[in-house]
Amino acid sequence: MSDEWDEDTHATDVEQIQSKLAGERNRATLTVITGSATGRMFKLDGAMTIGRAPVCEIRLDDDGISRNHARVRCDKDTTWIEDLASRNGTFVNGEKIIAATKVGDGDKIQVGRSTVLRFGFADHLDESFHENLVSSALRDGLTKLFNKRYFMERLDSELKFAVRHETALSLLLLDLDHFKQCNDTFGHLAGDAVLATLSGVLSKAVRNEDVVARFGGEELAVILRAINIDGAIQTAERLRKLVENTVIETGGRKLKATVSIGVSGYPSTPAKAIQELIEAADKALYRAKNAGRNRVSR
């Protein structure tokens, strides 16, 4: 084997590494900076459609967004966006576009009435940092559910959408039964394990478009879009049974828990503000607990 320095081979290796790193750095992305999906980052690849339809690669459900609203297309070195005859138009940096328009790093794209996306470039480190930042801002540290701040903002957006489009919206408030007793008997670590485990179970048991959040303490909340009050009661009963049948392993013990659930919904509750919807669900929750717990009430 020769120990001689091969400058040509070395130069080729460096170029390949630099090309790879440049490709990683130049990954085009769209990040939602306002709207119900604030913080979400979409990696762009080829042609992708923005809209409310389930088949859209960039699916956004905010008010004013058409089912197939706009298309973003990434060529080798250039990214374009075009409006797909949407009802409210597509805007780049505040200007309504009428033809395919080139976008550059930092450009703001508005779709619908309240959703703005930022176009930019990111590498895997940027993406990891972004995911951690968004998670810490929107998620509860223990349960990994959405936090109350996000829940309130999302519920407000969903109620406005439901009122404007005359569609159904339901809310579940869930309270773990005798949770203080669990903490007092087995310790707070066991209580944390119960809350974290059941939060994970509930998150997997609902649709992707539903929102599960930690409302406070041992109280959780679920937003059910386009589900009327009767459907919400059925969903709540399914979740109640799921919690009842879940075994939580912690500290060498196997624990079980139950949950009481209050249900409210629009338009059965003619709410114009989220406080009215929350109050109706909260009253239903107290009825469930006063009736003996481990049950659903409306």
What does DSSP say about strands 219-225 and 169-176: parallel, antiparallel, or unpaired? antiparallel
Instruction: Specify whether the CB–CB gap between 112 and 35 falls below 8 A.
Output: yes
Contacts of 24 (CB under 8 A, 6+ apart): 123, 124
218 assigned to active site? yes
Output the DSSP codes for 185-251: HH-HHHHHHHHHHHHHHHHHTS-TTSEEEEEETTEEEEEEET--HHHHHHHHHHHHHHHHT--EEET
Instruction: Specify whether the CB–CB gap between 29 and 111 falls below 8 A.
Output: no
Which residue out of 7, 57, 131, 218 is catalytically annotated? 218
Instruction: Specify whether the CB–CB gap between 57 and 70 falls below 8 A.
Output: no
Catalytic positions, written as ranges: 218
